[in-house]
Amino acid sequence: MAHLTLDTGNTGFMLLCSSLVMLMTPGLAFFYGGLVGRKNVLAIMMQSFTSMGWTTVLWWAFGFSMCFSGDLKSGTDFAGIIGNFNWAFLRGISLDTPSPANSTIPLFVFFGYQMMFAIITPALITGAFANRVRFAAYMLFLTAWLILVYFPFVHMIWGGGIMAHWGVLDFAGGIVVHNIAGIAALASVLYVGRRRVAERGPHSIPLVALGTGLLWFGWYGFNAGSEFRVDSVTAVAFINTDLAASFAAVTWLAIDWMTTKKPKFLGLLTGSVAGLATITPAAGYVSPSSAVLIGILAGIVCYYAVALKNRLRWDDALDVWGVHGVGGFLGILSCGAFASLAFNPAGTNGLFNGNPHFFLVQLGAVCISSVWAFVFTYGMLWIIDRITPVKAGEAAETEGLDQALHGEVAYIEAL
């Protein structure tokens, strides 16, 4: 491995980006917390905050090593699907160990930055089974899902595994974060079933707005930080993130306005998150003009994905599949279509720049990830259900999970 040649600018920037991505998980907790009813706020917020603690434990123990230790090229991983355990418990890592992504950044910083991604990804899924999953089952699900779905895809794409060998590009997590979380959400919805107790809708749109603001703010670290250095591509990824979010928000608002005859704040907020999710895999590989188009596409496609979900009566409580699953899928294909060497010399050209092969590689990868995430998620929920019931009882749903499962309430009058 190369020797660390410390660049304080790059290192400081990556520590800042790690902090920004960490802030996204509390942001997600507020976003989801506002969308549920008053009796279930703490239960869903706790699921996000629990990931901050437990995922960190797993990441330190073996998760980081499973993702980034060893690679397919040198034959030091397991079939290009999962890494080895050489870095378990941070064994063998010193102050002078450089990051594999950039030898001017300490490996400890890379460890921390990637850990924040691992924390938020399973937390995204929780919006799908809001108000009806027992906490013990969630803990088992969080553990199994990281090991069987998240860690393998990190290694396959970002850790020198088989998809990296195929030429798959995913700048900041279209497959690794959004697609697999969104498809896992769909599998969860279909396995767990509908809520027995209907809610009247979001109990606090201001809380959703706060969460959206924190997510949007943190997303600059999520996307721009994925360049792992400060250069022109970092700047393009930053700008593309904002452009796509803004155009998707306005597009969703416009469609919602035309459909319901009223401009809805919640539509604007949801649209922005759809744009952020969709631009993620392409942020550092496409031009700002392409980011504008990707944002518009995200607003249209994700809006109608949510509409389809409603027609099919899938109880994806907080639209995780429509926003993240579909957005991640669309983003990977958009990267395959619009990628340009002119905006990232370390990337490649996409379909519209004369490279249809790359588009097909991206399409194949995101289809594999969708099937893998669905099958493994559905299967692990079935197994967990044999160990401890996954779904909360009707009495718990009626009382609200905050009081029934945790003995706490967000608002005293909720009792």
Distance, CA of 190 to CA of 285 (rounded, Å) = 35
pLDDT in tens, 220-265: 999 999 999 999 999 999 999 999 999 999 999 999 999 999 999 9
**Could you tell me which residues come within 8 angstroms of residue 231 by beta carbon, excluding any fewer than 6 positions away?**
none
φ/ψ of 409, rounded to 5, equals -135, 150
Distance, CA of 150 to CA of 183 (rounded, Å) = 12
**Is 1 within the bounds of a domain?**
no
φ/ψ of 82, rounded to 5, equals -140, 150
Helices (H), 179-231: 180-192, 205-224
**Is 88 within the bounds of a domain?**
yes
Q: Provide the residue range defining the domain that includes 84.
A: 8-414
| Number of structural domains in the chain | 1
Residues constituting the chain: 415
Asked if residue 1 has pLDDT above 90, the reply is no
Amino acid at 412: I
Report which of 176, 180, 109 is spatially closest to residue 377, judged by C-alpha positions. Answer: 180
**Could you tell me which residues come within 8 angstroms of residue 263 by beta carbon, excluding any fewer than 6 positions away?**
253, 256, 257
**Is 53 within the bounds of a domain?**
yes
Report which of 298, 276, 292 is spatially closest to residue 214, judged by C-alpha positions. Answer: 276
**Is 43 within the bounds of a domain?**
yes
pLDDT in tens, 174-195: 999 999 999 999 999 999 998 8
Q: Is 78 helix (H, G, I), strand (E, B) or coil?
A: strand
Asked if residue 387 has pLDDT above 70, the reply is yes
Asked if residue 98 has pLDDT above 70, the reply is yes
Distance, CA of 246 to CA of 240 (rounded, Å) = 10
Q: For the packed helices 107-125 and 151-158, what is the interaxial angle rounded to 10 degrees?
A: 130
Q: Are 132 and 399 in contact (CB under 8 A)?
A: no
Distance, CA of 26 to CA of 215 (rounded, Å) = 9
Query: What per-residue confidence (pLDDT) applies to 239?
Result: 98
**Is 134 within the bounds of a domain?**
yes
Distance, CA of 357 to CA of 289 (rounded, Å) = 22
**Is 2 within the bounds of a domain?**
no
Burial of residue 94 (CB within 10 Å: 0-12, 13-18, 19+) is: exposed
The two three-digit tokens of residue 269, written as one number: 């907020």
**Is 397 within the bounds of a domain?**
yes
User: Which domain CATH number covers 361?
Assistant: 1.10.3430.10
Helices (H), 261-287: 265-279
Report which of 144, 409, 155, 190 is spatially closest to residue 314, judged by C-alpha positions. Answer: 190
Asked if residue 380 has pLDDT above 70, the reply is yes
Q: For the packed helices 41-58 and 135-145, what is the interaxial angle rounded to 10 degrees?
A: 40
Distance, CA of 288 to CA of 406 (rounded, Å) = 46
Report which of 325, 330, 320 is spatially closest to residue 293, judged by C-alpha positions. Answer: 330
Report which of 11, 189, 32 is spatially closest to residue 104, judged by C-alpha positions. Answer: 11
pLDDT in tens, 124-171: 999 998 999 999 999 999 999 999 999 999 999 999 999 999 999 999
**Is 309 within the bounds of a domain?**
yes
The predicted model scores a pTM of 0.96
